[in-house]
Structures are given as structure tokens and as C-alpha cells.
Amino acid sequence: MAALLGGCQHTASEPIQGPIFVQRAVYDVEGPVWVLYHLNDKPFPVTPVSAGFRLLSKNSHVYGTSGLNQFSGEYWIDYGVLRFKPLATTKRAGTPEQMALEQDLLATLGRVTSWRVQDNILILLADTKPVAYLMRHPNQPAAN
């Protein structure tokens, strides 16, 4: 062991030069694109422009789409806790059904209090009740 450590010239009293940057997701929910497929006990339509989002740990921002409009804003995450701060959205009009689904999604995100990932499924909870299920996008790299 002494032979292995003998080549190390750094001592504890020497400062390490330069900044250290760690840019990685703190939690496995951050980074990937998540596609919504179930909301408030009902299936949510999965289409080529499906609703979903990405949580970016480097700036604690969420970027997503309702399937109709884009949304973004800040979030706070710590262990099993997740809170979305008020989200800004674009204002594109759609069918009454699309707009109702969008309102339901945005209202639900505002009620989220916690999360868990199970078998590549992100489960969002309001208190202890699951309110949304999202699958990891299969063709999207996990960038944060």
C-alpha cells in the first residue's frame, strides 16, 4: 500500500488549484425527457408531440410541452420532494379538448409534492396520491 501511495505528491495541506465543476443530475429524475401517458386516473394521449418535460439540474428549470403549448419554470427537488413553481406557458389555441387537457396538466403539476422512479416510470404524487405517470423517452439522451 505504501508503494502505491508513495507516488502521490499532494498533501492535505496543499490547496487544489482551480474551480471544480460537477454538472450531473443529482436525482435520476433530472436530465431525461419524460413523456406523460397517464394523468389523474385517466390515460393521456401519446402522440408525436406528446406532453412531457425535462428537469435540468444545472439551473433547476423545467422545460416541457402540454402537447399544445410550451411551458417552463423553476422547480425544487430534494430526495422524494418535488415542487413546481408557477410555470410560464405559450398561448397557442387548440381544440376545447386539447385546452382542457393542458389546464388539467398544469393544475396537476402545481399540486405535485413528491416523486419516485420505478422501472423507468416517473410517478408524480400530490401528497400520497399518484397523479401522473411519465415514461422515459426512449430516443432522447439524458442531458442536463
Residues 51-70: b if buried by 16+ CB within 10 A, e if exposed: bbbbbbbeeeebebbbbbbe
pLDDT digits (tens, 9 = 90+) for 56-72: 998 999 999 999 999 99
**CATH, residue 123:** 2.40.128.270
- With respect to residue 94, please indicate whether it lies within any of the assigned structural domains: yes
Q: How far is CA 107 from the centre of its chain?
A: 17
Amino acid found at 143:
A
- With respect to residue 65, please indicate whether it lies within any of the assigned structural domains: yes
Q: Find the domain containing 118 and state its range.
A: 23-136
pLDDT digits (tens, 9 = 90+) for 103-112: 999 999 999 9
Measure the CA–CA gap between 142 and 101, rounded to whole angstroms.
Answer: 26
Measure the CA–CA gap between 73 and 48, rounded to whole angstroms.
Answer: 23
**Residue 16 pLDDT > 50, yes or no?**
no
**Number of domains the chain contains:** 1
pLDDT digits (tens, 9 = 90+) for 83-99: 999 999 999 999 999 99
- With respect to residue 144, please indicate whether it lies within any of the assigned structural domains: no
